Chains A and B, each alone.
Chain A
Amino acid sequence: MDAINYDTELRRAGAYSTHGWRKLVFLARHHALGTAGLIIMTVFVLAAVFADVICRFSPLDVDAAHALAAPDALHWMGTDSFGRDVWSRIIHGARISLAVGIGSTALGSVFGVTIGLASGYLTGWVDLVCQRIIDILQALPLLVLALVMTAALGPSLQNTIIAIAIPLIPSVARVIRANTLALRELPFVEAAKSIGMSEMRIALRHVLPNTLAPLIVLATAQLGSAILTEASLSFLGLGIPEPHPSWGRMLSESAAEYVRTAPWLVIFPGLAISLAVFGTNLLGDALRDILDPRQRG
């Protein structure tokens, strides 16, 4: 029987990688898919930030002479019916998608945490009212509520962020509320109360930080949903207005009409949306496995 090399086994289990770069490398190796998701999202973020540097053309430059040009050395992903460079529009579209995705997720999380924390910590009539508001918001699918909100607020970048943020609030509020209800019964909260700490301080300094792990997992998943919803709204013509380049509207402009003649107008924007959402899903799954192994699936 082979002798067990304890050093090797401990190293494999991560016993020597407890902090700093070693821990990051250990996590990256044991969550390869999550690392891939992180790389994908990092590429998108960098592309969005340095869009003006990596794009040869402006996304708004019209060149009728080169309309519907197939991908070539000059236009890497071809051009659309107005002669606009598709590569430039996709890279600049990343700015829009990420801005809407991150903005609406952050906004939804802020309100969701506030409602969930108040609902779970204060209970009573506050909980009753908050739960009814959440029930109302959750009774409609995300896209339907976002559609009505967009129609109500009007088409603009800020309104699209708000329209998508509001349907995201219930999920966050429910998760935070569930965690808060469990945490408020723990001895450390009782101890804080006994030394005369105010309810607000206990909720913010002690309860809230312990609810962050599931919030991070949920927010990462919601980022993907937000990007998809923005693309869907833009595809339906109710999202980001011109002249902002939007992946969803690029697909709407090229729908059915150019499927036969210019398939690159369908393939590349859709690929961009799918890759961005795929990256957030991979990252979200890995974060869930790291932060809350009980939810591993």
Chain B
Amino acid sequence: MFAYIARRLVLMLVTLIGISIVIFVLLRIVPGNIVDILFAAAGYVDPSDKASLERELGLDQPIVVQYLHWIGGLLRGDLGYSYVSEKPALDEILPRIPITARLAGLALLFSAAIGIPLGVISAVKQGTRLDYGLRIFSLSGLSLPAFWLGLLILMASVALFGTMPIFNPNPKTWTEAIAIYCIPALAVGFRSAALVMRITRSSMLEILRQDYIRTARAKGASEAAVNYRHALKNAMLPVITVLGIEAAFLIGGLIVTETVFNIPGVARFLVEAIRWRDYPIVQNLVMLIAVVVVLANFMVDLLYAVLDPRIRYTD
């Protein structure tokens, strides 16, 4: 097991280094840089002023030097400066992380709370109209764009309450907190809930076909005992895996949802930084996302080995 963990850690490091190189190079393929954007609105600019600013920002250095400078800073905890706000990148990113983390946590909670029960019901009632209805419901959930769902929620908010929820980092009442966080989290978590429902259903069906389930029924166990005490526990393993992976991949839904609801989280900040070619912010945010995804996958694999004694990671 320790050899497996060591090997995975090395592979994670290789992956993260690879991502850093890919992202760094990709962002510099584009002709022009932040200096061009900053000066674009000013009309004619003295080329020497532009060159001076590029020197100041280190953009005149060879690309390898810029990369090593960035990686060296990362290892020291220095994420550089935002080209747009001129503040340290860490000061721009850190306050936004809790907002996105809260949304992601709530979205996961919703996806588990909605997806697991519906998946169990769909599996237990396989072949019935309820099962077909739930399967269509889950397919609809996978088909709805998160940003459209967010816009529909805004429409409903306007129609029912005459106003849209406006983000407030320090909500004063519970209803305000629910409106600010739960509604966008629902928009993000809906798609995950559909996926969790499908995985739960598939996993339950596989478990319900097992011999020990037939034995339990033959021994006179009630359907509730068979479904929940015997089947559901074992069916949860793939579901937990999916939830763990979804925790990292929710960022895609958060990007568009934070944009729709105007929430100042990390995900929306990434889009703004890309538009402004604010390289330090984009690089650091993408690396942050990559670290979260890689770590999440690793933790899920370890958790799987802990929950299922049949799985042992050996050489």
Residues on A lying within 8 angstroms of B by beta carbon are 33, 132-133, 135-136, 139-144, 147-149, 151-154, 224, 228, 231-232, 235-238, 248, 251, 255-256, 259-260, 263, 266, 269-270, 273-275, 277-278, 281-282, 285, 297
- Total chain B interface residues with beta-carbon distance under 8 A: 54
**Shortest Cβ distance from residue A270 to the other chain B in the assembled complex, whole angstroms:** 3
Q: Is the beta-carbon distance between B286 and A277 smaller than 8 angstroms?
A: no
Q: What residue in chain A is nearest B31 (Cβ atoms)?
A: A154
Known: A151-B277, A256-B154. 7 other contacts (CB 8 A): A33-B132, A148-B23, A235-B147, A238-B271, A260-B158, A274-B140, A277-B145
Over the window 289-311 of chain B, the binary record of Cβ atoms lying under 8 Å from chain A Cβ atoms (1 yes, 0 no) is 11001100000000000000000
Of B74-82, B178-186, B251-259, the one touching chain A: B251-259
Q: Which B residues lie within 8 Å of A238 (CB)?
A: 271, 274-275
Residue from the list B27, B142, B154, B262 in contact with A259, Cβ < 8 A: B154
Interface residue? B39 (CB, 8 A)? no
B18 near A143 (CB under 8 angstroms)? Answer: no
B270 on interface, CB distance cutoff 8 Å: yes
Cβ of B207 < 8 Å from any Cβ of A?
no
Q: Which of B139, B260, B275 contacts A237 (CB 8 A)?
A: B275
B71 at the interface (CB under 8 A from A): no
- Which of A33, A154, A224 contacts B143 (CB under 8 A)? A224
Chain B: CB-nearest residue to A275:
B143
CA separation between A255 and B135, bound complex, in Å? 30
**Which residues of B261-289 are within 8 A (CB) of A?**
262, 270-271, 274-275, 277, 282, 286, 289
In the complex formed, the residue of B with least CB distance to A272 is B148
Interface centre among A142, A237, A256, A297 (most CB of B within 10 A): A297
Closest A residue by C-beta to B262? A256
CB of B142 within 8 A of CB of A232, answer no
Q: Does any Cβ of A come within 8 Å of B29's Cβ? A: yes
CB distance from A261 to the nearest CB of B (A): 10
Residue of B nearest to A221 (CB): B142
The residue of chain B having its C-beta at the shortest distance from the C-beta of A228 within the complex is: B145
Query: Does the CB pair B144–A147 fall under 8 Å?
Result: no
**Chain B residues, CB < 8 A from A141:** 248-249, 251-252, 289, 293
Whole-angstrom CA separation of A224 from B277 in the bound complex: 29
In the complex, the answer to whether B18 meets A140 with C-beta atoms within 8 Å is no
Neighbouring A residues of B148 by C-beta, 8 Å:
251, 266, 269-270, 273-274
Out of A144, A231, A256, A277, name the residue touching B142 (CB < 8 Å): A277
A140-B289, A149-B26 known; A274 vs B145 contact (CB < 8 Å)? yes
* Residue contact A236 to B15, C-beta cutoff 8 Å: no
- Tell me the minimal C-beta distance from A101 to chain B in angstroms: 13
A140 touches B293 (CB 8 A): yes
Q: In the docked arrangement, what's the CA distance between A33 and B132, Å?
A: 10
Q: Could you tell me if B14 and A132 are in contact, using CB atoms closer than 8 angstroms?
A: yes
- Chain B residues whose C-beta falls within 8 Å of the C-beta of A285 in the assembled complex: 139
Question: In the complex, A142 Cα to B252 Cα: how many Å?
Answer: 7
Which of A139, A148, A235, A273 contacts B274, CB < 8 Å? A148
- Of A132, A136, A255, which contacts B151 at CB under 8 A? A255
Query: Which residues of chain A come closer than 8 Å to B139, judged between CB atoms?
Result: 278, 281-282, 285
| Residue with the greatest number of chain A CB neighbours at <10 A, chosen from B26, B252, B271 | B252
A-chain residues with CB within 8 Å of residue B136 when the two chains form the complex: 33
Q: Which of B42-50, B89-97, B197-205 contacts A (4 or more CB under 8 A)?
A: B197-205
**Is A297 touching B205 in the complex (CB atoms < 8 A)?**
yes
Name the contact of B286 in the complex, choosing from A132, A133, A140, A251 (C-beta under 8 A). Answer: A140
Instruction: Give, as a whole number of angstroms, the nearest-CB distance from B167 to chain A.
Output: 13
Is B19 located at the chain interface by the 8 A CB criterion?
yes
A288 CB to nearest chain B CB (Å): 11
B184 CB to nearest A CB, Å:
13
A-B contact pairs, 17 of them (CB 8 A): A33-B135, A132-B18, A135-B11, A140-B289, A143-B255, A144-B251, A151-B26, A152-B27, A153-B29, A236-B259, A236-B271, A251-B151, A274-B145, A278-B139, A282-B139, A297-B198, A297-B205
Residue of A nearest to B144 (CB): A274
Does B27 contact A151, Cβ atoms closer than 8 Å? yes
Q: A154–B30 Cα gap in the complex (Å)?
A: 7
Evaluate contact between A148 and B143: CB separation under 8 angstroms. no
Q: Which of B144, B198, B260, B294 meets A255, CB within 8 Å? A: B260
- Known contacts A236-B255, A263-B155; is A139 also within 8 Å of B142 by CB? no
With a CB–CB cut-off of 8 A, which chain A residues contact B19? 136, 139-140
Q: Is the CB of B142 within 8 A of A132?
A: no
B68 at the interface (CB under 8 A from A): no
| Interface residue B64 (Cβ < 8 Å from any Cβ of A) | no
A142 partner residues in chain B, CB cutoff 8 A = 252
Bound state CA distance, A33 and B139, in angstroms?
Answer: 11
Of A148, A154, A224, A278, which one neighbours B140 at CB under 8 angstroms?
A: A278
Within the assembled complex, what's the spacing in Å between the Cα atoms of A54 and B249?
40
> In the assembly, what is the distance between CA of A157 and CA of B27, in Å?
19
Contact of B259 with A151 in the complex, beta carbons under 8 Å: no
Residues of A within 8 A of B15 (CB): 132, 135-136, 139
